Structure formats: C-alpha cells, structure tokens
Structure 1
Amino acid sequence: MVASVTTEPESSTRRSMATELTIGDPALADRLARGMDASEKRLRAVAAEALDPGVADIAGHLLASGGKRLRPLLALLGAEFGERDPSAAVAAAALAELVHVASLYHDDVMDQARTRRGVPSANARWGNSTAVLAGNWLLSKAAQLSSELGPEAIRLQSDATHRLVMGQVRELIGPSGDDDPLSHYFAVVAGKSAALIAMALQLGAVRTGAPERVVEALAEYGEHLGIAFQVADDILDITSSSEVSGKEQGKDLAIGVASLPVLLALAAERPEADELRTLLNAAATARTVATVAPEGAGLPRAVALLDRCGALSEARAVMHARLLRARTALNGLPHGPATRALHALCDFVAHRDH
C-alpha cells in the first residue's frame, strides 16, 4: 500500500506557518496554502508512481511523516516575484521537497539515526542499504520532474544536488589535517542546507519569470538563511527535547559529531575544551563499537560545558549575523507582502532555538 503523504493536522500545521509569515495579507496566505496543498498532491502522485508496493512504502515513509515543508513554501514565495500565476510553481515546490527528503534518508544512514520527524528512521526500519536506495529513488524522481520544468530547472536542481552530495562527502570524510574545522563546517552546511533552500527560492522565481536580479537576490538570501537554519538546528540538538525538535535530543553529541557550538568551544581552547573533547571521543568510540551509543552517555555534562563556556551564545551570534546578511539581500527585492514574509521567516529562524 502506498503511504499517505498528508493528513489534516499536518495540512493545518503548514497552513498555520504560511499564515504566520503573511500576517496582514490574507490573499497571499490563501495562495500559499493552496499551493502547499497542491504540492502535497504532487508528492503523493510521485510516491504512487512506484510500481512495487514495497518501494512505494519505503520511499513514501518520510514524505508521509509530514514536516514543516519549508522548501515548498520557499518555492511558492519565490514565485510571487514573477509575472506569471504563482500556481505555475507547484511542481517546483514538490521538486524542492523531493531533493530535501532524499537527503534526509542519506543523512540518517550517515548519522545512524533511529528516529526522524517523530517516527522510526528508514534505516532503523529497513536497514541502511534500503534507506540509501530509497533516497536515490527520490533523487531520480526529482530529476525526472525537473526535466518537465525546462533547462533552467534542470540546471538548478543538478547544481544543488551536486552541492548536496559534496557536502555529505565532506561531512563523512571530515577536515584534513590542514583544514580549519570551522571553514570545513561552513562548507558542509553550504552544501547540505543552504544549497537546497536557495534552490527552492530560485526554482519558484524562475517558473514565474522573475527578473534575473531578483533570482540572484533570492539565491543570496537563501544561502545565508540556510546556514542560519542549520546553526539553529545545531543549537536545538543540544538544548531541545525530541518532542520539540522532532529528532533525538543530543543526536550529534551522542555520535561525536562536532556541530558549531562544539567547534567554537574547541577552537578557543577554553578550560572546558579537554573534557568536552574526551566526552565526544568516548561517544564516537561507543557508537563505533556498539552501533548505538549508550543512552545519554555524557550528554548532560557536555551540554553543561557548552553552556558554561559560552559556546552556545557564540553560536547564536553566528546565526543572527547570517540572518542579518539574509535580510540585507532582501534589499534587492521589490517591497511587498512576499518580501515581508521572507523577513518574517528570518524572525522564525531566530526564535527556533528557544
């Protein structure tokens, strides 16, 4: 049986997000909500294209689990800057989500994650090989969809997918001996997060014939917003419960991944650095030996160290600096409800880590 890709509560959540970003403009809120619903139908149709019911079930697993659908929303907002009907961007919105969800399958294998969006991860349920193939299948469907949208959509999707894969490879390999760990971190984030957010905005704008200067401004905005979004994710991993974030609390810490707060703490060689490094190495070793790290091993102490040394505050400062650069990029866009919504999205990211 093909997994259902949307439920009424999830649809209401997405509509609520669109409404929050468009306060004072019910017409835009309604267009976005209708576009989101239409993109969900397109995603459901993609899952149904798998002739094998098992493939459909696995490939539709994370699509069915919902999520904020940020990237489809961004594609629809980008479409507001063109001359054609924004509904022309519905397929672009679905395309953006397909690439994103495919990346989640691969990320969960790399991280050995057990849950995603409040449900068992595909790798936990079906195994690593199956999860990787499901992600690949979704990428192949994204490529097919981009071919229907024209040469520019093909270019944007292929460029973003290339950057995504390179970001995943860089993360897997890690920095070389000569690499600055912070520079390596931002290169990974640019590929894995910023590239997809920028792609979504550009795809929507291109579909409705937005001027090139607008497409470029949206791309710059998306790059900085994407990095800020990932930094907020790093902070959430440390500070928020699974119920809030939708993922395992402290997942990065538990597997020894050096997120931005950790890198900042280690880079300054604070008094807490040696103990923090020991905790991370122990977590990584336990994960390698036992496949699954001991529940909460060293996590409370690591969180306390990151807070005490000021690394969490520094990470928040980095996030806000990126959001300021994103807002600055919006100066190149015409004033209007869609631009105000993109400013509101910066506010949303700024408060994500609370």
Structure 2
Amino acid sequence: MQPTVRDRALADGLKAGQAAVEKGLLEATKSDVPFITEAARELMRTAGRRLRPLLVLLAARFGDPSASGVVPAAVVVELTHLATHYHDDVVDETDAWRRRAPGSDVNWDNSVAVLIGDFLFARASHILADLGPQAVRIQADAFKRLVTGQILETTGPTDGRDPVEHHLEVLASRTGSLTAVSGRLGAMTSGADASVADALARYGERLGVASHLADEVEAVAARRPTLPVLLLLRGEPADRELYHRLTGGSADQGQYAEAVARLRAHPALEQARQETAHQAAEARAALSGLPDCPARAALESLCETVTHRALAHDR
C-alpha cells in the first residue's frame, strides 16, 4: 500500500528511505547458516506491502528524516512483522509456511517455523538496542500487546462479551499495536515532539485496524470468523445459521459457495465496510493537530486508500 505523494522532495526521500530499509532487511536476515538466510528472505520476499516501514519514514518527516535512527527503526518494525507471520501461521495451524519452504528436502515443521520467527525477533532486538532504552521499552510494550491480542483471539470472547467488540479489540492489539509503534518510533527517532509521536501512534493503530478490516471485507469467502461473518451473530436465527455454515467446516464446496453468496448480499457486509471506513476516519482525525505538510497529506491518502478498498469491493 503506497500513499499518494505529489511533492517531489517527499517522493524522492521516501524512495531513498525505502531502498535503505530493503538493504537493512537483507543485512538483518543474513546468517552464517545458509538455510536460515534463505528461509528468512523467502518470507521477506512474499510478505507484502511494507506498510510499517512506510509509516516510520512518513512519521520521521515531522522531525529530521535523515536522523541516524530512522531507517533502523523501520527495519525493526518490519522484522517484527515478518517474525509474527511465522508464528501466526503455526498458531493458526495453516500450511502457509510450508509453501515458503526453501527446499522440498527440508524438514520444514512447526518447530523450524517458530525458530525462524525467533531468529527475526533476535535480529530486531539487536538493532533496537542501538536506538536506546526508550525505543526498547516502546517496542516491548507493543510486543506485549501483540501477544495479548493473539492470546485473546485464541481463547475467544468471554461469556456475555460481544464477539464483534472482542474481534476489534483483538485487531487493535494484534495489528494496531505494531502500526502504532511504527508511527511513534518514526517520530521519536527523528526528534519530533512527544505530542506528534502520540498523534502518529493513534493514527497508526487506527490505520492498522482499518487496513486489516479492508482485507477481511475483500476475503469474504475465507473460512474464518472475519468481521462480516461475526456481525451475523447480532442478527436473527437465520443469520446465526449462516454464521455456523461459514465457520463450521462441515459444508461441502457447493454449500459453502451458496453461504458465501448469501453473505455477499447480507447487510452485515455493508456494516463491515462502514466499520472499516469509520476506523480510517478515526486515523485521519488523529492527524488533525499536526502541521499541514506533504507528509500529513500522504498519511491522509492512506486512509482514503483503505476506505476505497472496503467500500468499492464487490459493488
């Protein structure tokens, strides 16, 4: 996901910063053990949008973007994100990590996936140590929230808790915590004011949630309890029956396709779109006290992109 950037100096600066981040990621994923290097870099090639480093680089524009800690901070948040991909795949019991296996002759099991994730966490911690104790504490707090979100997702909502509210809380912890810390570290390492760092952390958390919800709207056919599916639990008995068809795993391919078609036509999908737009609007509102500059405009354009993804999908 890339922002709309009309300012040439900002565009050039982001391009140079992103190139430096990629170089840093290659260096950080290098090991004396070739298999570790190959495995870590395979995930790096397939992990997607680099949203978190981008947020670090844009946040740094409210201070000194050339400060020495900015690019290392961007590398740290991306390494942490990559590590959680490995761990999430194991916790979710998917075979996504097997598709990333460097070679068919490798015993690529859960233990290896977890250990590769741990290797990436270790490399992130090593880089983070050079950014000072405050950065270490910020990252540690974010990681605590991330792990808490993973546990909450695994255990599910407590009795009487609205599953939709629980899901949004999980996303704020699992996804929003790391996008929030991206904004905060970018501001902090660039020397921006604490109030700016606070605003960018609030922005990052809401944008992270909105981006994940947009993914869920687009992945309406996924066999898991996404927001559109969970919203069915607030409806009539027929809606609850549809929920169980979509999440129970007992429906054959034809039955499941019919259930997905019903969901596409259900008001729950529109409600999920609107919640995504609401989260993106909250992100944009967090920027209201920041200086009117190209970096702020770029951050605002990310909110518009996420909203468009959600509202335009399947219409």
The answer to whether the superposition gives a TM-score over 0.5 is yes
CA deviation vs aligned residue, 1:234-293 (integer Å, no higher than 9, x gap): 11211xxxxxxxxxxx44x1xxx311111111222363321331342135xx9xxxxxxx
Q: Which amino acid aligns with 1:133?
A: L
Pairing of 1:39-118 with structure 2 (within 5 A): 39-48=21-30, 50-65=31-46, 67-83=48-64, 85=66, 88-115=69-96
Name the % identity: 40
Q: Which residue of 2 aligns with 1:311?
A: 268
Say which is worse superposed, 129-138 or 265-274, in terms of deviation.
265-274
Q: Which residue of 2 aligns with 1:233?
A: 215
Q: Quick one: distance in 2 between partners of 1:54 and 1:229?
A: 33
Q: Quick one: distance in 2 between partners of 1:29 and 1:302?
A: 45
Query: Is residue 39–residue 102 contact of structure 2 (8 Å, CA) maintained in 1?
Result: no
Query: Is residue 228–residue 349 contact of structure 1 (8 Å, CA) maintained in 2?
Result: yes
CA 1:278/1:303 → structure 2, altered by over 3 Å: closer, same or farther?
A: closer
Q: Quick one: distance in 2 between partners of 1:151 and 1:297?
A: 55
Cα deviation for residue 183 of structure 1 reads 2.1
Consecutive unaligned residues in structure 1, runs of 5 or more: 1-13, 239-249, 287-293
Query: Is residue 122–residue 131 contact of structure 1 (8 Å, CA) maintained in 2?
Result: no
CA deviation vs aligned residue, 1:153-185 (integer Å, no higher than 9, x gap): 111111111111111111112122233212211
1:330 partner SS:
coil
1:213 and 2:192 aligned = no
Pairing of 1:1-354 with structure 2 (within 5 A): 17=2, 20-22=3-5, 24-48=6-30, 50-65=31-46, 67-83=48-64, 85=66, 88-115=69-96, 120-121=99-100, 126-238=108-220, 250-251=221-222, 253=223, 257-269=224-236, 271-283=238-250, 296=253, 298-353=255-310, 354=313
Cα deviation for residue 95 of structure 1 reads 0.7
1:271 partner SS:
helix
2:248 partner SS:
helix
Cα deviation for residue 65 of structure 1 reads 2.4
Consecutive unaligned residues in structure 2, runs of 5 or more: none
CA 1:123/1:189 → structure 2, altered by over 3 Å: closer, same or farther?
A: farther
Q: Quick one: distance in 2 between partners of 1:180 and 1:272?
A: 16
Q: Quick one: distance in 2 between partners of 1:107 and 1:91?
A: 24
Q: Which amino acid aligns with 2:234?
A: A
CA 1:123/1:158 → structure 2, altered by over 3 Å: closer, same or farther?
A: farther
Higher RCO (Cα < 8 Å, 6 or more apart): 2
Say which is worse superposed, 261-270 or 142-151, in terms of deviation.
261-270
CA deviation vs aligned residue, 1:135-170 (integer Å, no higher than 9, x gap): 121112111111111122111111111111111111
CA RMSD of aligned residues (A): 2.3
Q: Which amino acid aligns with 1:148?
A: D
Q: Quick one: distance in 2 between partners of 1:141 and 1:62?
A: 15
Query: Is residue 86–residue 116 contact of structure 2 (8 Å, CA) maintained in 1?
Result: yes
Query: Is residue 80–residue 86 contact of structure 1 (8 Å, CA) maintained in 2?
Result: no
